[in-house]
Amino acid sequence: MVYCEKRFYLWIKFPVMKTNYLLTSLLVVIIGLQSSAQTFSHKEVYDTDFTFTDGIYLTKDDFRLNKPIEKSRINSNLDPDDLTYFEHLVEQKTISIFDNVGSETIVDVSKIFGFCSSGTVYVLHNSTFSRVGIIGSICHFLGSKTVFNPIYSPYWGMYGRMPYTQSTTTEPQEYFLVFETGEIMEYTSDNLLIILKSDPALHDEFAELSRKKRNSKIFYYMRQYNDKHPLYIPVYE
């Protein structure tokens, strides 16, 4: 008989040859239940000293609420003490996770939002996990995008040379990540104008600049917005 944090008892009969395996699995479930019992404590204003909780973000809300799936709820053969545990974990196609009642669920890595490792946040975009370098109401990260390059036929027709195939290349690309919504947008002045609509004063000031000035002031206005709209991150105990 095993007592769990959720105030119920588990009666288990262990076959001799499988005792160690079952005990290990049960321990993982119990720890997962204890972890899921964490309760909200307070919110802290985000600054560079704040440390996000390590774990897997299944959705944008896991990131926003600072409540990822922690190691104790993950069933893996990887060494949990390895500092690169989560980096290696997301190299797999699927992850096995225990939910709040101890049921196992298989999650497709290509469908998760991201992960946090040693306090550093990574988001999945264009099939790549990218480190979020700046965290604020408007986050920023350097990712990549696929560029399609048409290859033209050497022959001319009535309408000139037409593309008959195409190649693809992967190029670096900067992105915004809107903290509240989880929306990812390319790092352009037009997209920043859209984001700034929630602050009419900053939006109008930015909009009055010439396009050349706007393009050169993207980072400045992103930081201005973040300073005016600080993040309050939930902390649990």
Using DSSP bridges, classify how beta strands 2-3 and 9-10 pair: parallel, antiparallel or unpaired.
antiparallel
Structure-block tokens of residue 166: 């195409």
pLDDT (tens digit per residue) in 146-176:
887 777 656 555 555 566 666 778 889 999 9
State phi, psi for 156 to the nearest 5 degrees: -100, 140
pLDDT of amino acid 150? 72
Q: Tokens 């001799």, residue?
A: 16
Phi then psi for residue 125, to 5 deg, are -150, 135
Q: What are the two backbone dihedrals, phi and then psi, of residue 26, each rounded to the nearest 5 degrees?
A: -65, -40
CB 11 within 8 A of CB 1: yes
The confidence score (pLDDT) of residue 15 equals 46
The separation between the first and the last C-alpha atoms of the chain, rounded to the nearest angstrom, is: 28
* Average pLDDT per 10 consecutive residues for the chain, totaling 237 residues: 40 42 46 56 91 97 96 95 97 93 93 97 96 98 86 59 69 96 97 98 98 97 98 92
